[in-house]
Amino acid sequence: MLQELSTIDIAVIGSLRLYTNNIKHLIDFRVQCLEGLNVKSRQRLSPAQILQLYICCYQHVSTRDRCWRSMLPVLNHSIQRACVLFRAKFPFEIEAVVCSVIFCHVNNAQGSAPGLQEAASRRERVDAGSGVSCCLAPPCPG
């Protein structure tokens, strides 16, 4: 099981274009950490962009702000404080993030992305069979 990953390259984070519903607390992150954005800005964010910001939130302290601002130019005190509280409450879902990164990059390399319904269906089969939350077939090692 992957225990720690404190830095993911900004280019890798920025290349995520799909979200496959495998991060348990992404809605909590959106509600709690993006409250410092105006309503219009929050509504414009896609699930993939929220995933990118979620990953930025957990980056090493030396790169966290630069990472966030490369995805979204707004990083105010309200957002920073909310992220501190969020990180204290919820662990980084490292395995699910790595699976999302692999899923996106495999599909980018193939030139097309399968429908999210198909990916969700595969993830549900993996969850039922092994308890590992991942959207790939075969499942990520756990």
- Please name the residues in contact with 33: beta carbons below 8 A apart, sequence gap of 6 or more: 53, 57, 79, 82, 83, 86
The rounded distance, in Å, linking the Cα atoms of 62 and 28 is 24
- Tens of pLDDT, residue by residue over 85-102, are 999 999 999 899 888 888
131 φ/ψ sector (left φ>0, alpha ψ -120 to 50, else beta): left
> CA quadruple 140, 137, 119, 15: dihedral positive or negative?
positive
In tens, the pLDDT along 92-137 reads: 998 998 888 888 877 766 555 444 445 444 444 333 443 433 343 3
Contact assessment for residue 78 and residue 71, using Cβ atoms and an 8 Å cutoff? no
Residue 3's pLDDT band (boundaries 50, 70, 90)?
A: very low
pTM exceeding the 0.95 threshold for the entire prediction: no
Average pLDDT, the chain: 77
Taken in order 37, 75, 47, 82, the sign of the CA dihedral is negative
Confidence of residue 41 (pLDDT cuts 50, 70, 90): very high
Return the residue matching tokens 């130019």. Answer: 73
Helix boundaries (H) for the chain: 10-14, 26-33, 39-44, 47-57, 64-71, 77-89, 94-110, 116-130
In whole angstroms, what is the distance from residue 46 CA to residue 27 CA?
Answer: 12
Could you tell me if 78 and 36 are in contact, meaning their C-beta atoms sit under 8 angstroms apart?
A: yes
* 82, amino acid identity: A
Q: What is the pLDDT of residue 108?
A: 63
